[in-house]
Amino acid sequence: MSKTPEEMAEEYSFNYMLLDDPKYAMSITKKAFLAGYKAAQQWISVKDRLPTKLDITDIVLVWRESWKDYDTVRWQPYGFDDVNPETITHWMPLPAAPKEEK
């Protein structure tokens, strides 16, 4: 049986029990673990699919496995508008911009 993200976060945060305030430290690390887990689920392999919108204003976040780095790249009708598009292994849409509080 595979573990749930919550169970994995609990095990991960257990390492922080020895800090001055273990309950707080565990709570924060669990939240960080779950946020990272959720973000990781959004990456799309270029082998699985490419962006479908062909609007030249579309910018996506890309991951270059060989460089261990990410960047923002414009998606064009012909593919990623990038000097080294073959280095891109994964992509994801950018999140919506924050809304201004009034």
Per cent of the chain over pLDDT 90 is 7
**What's the token pair of residue 70?**
């990410």
**pLDDT of 69 strictly over 70:** yes
68: left (phi over 0), alpha (psi -120 to 50) or beta: left
Cα 79 from chain centroid?
21
Q: Where are the domains of the chain?
A: 5-40, 44-93
Q: How confident is the model at residue 67 (pLDDT cuts 50, 70, 90)?
A: confident
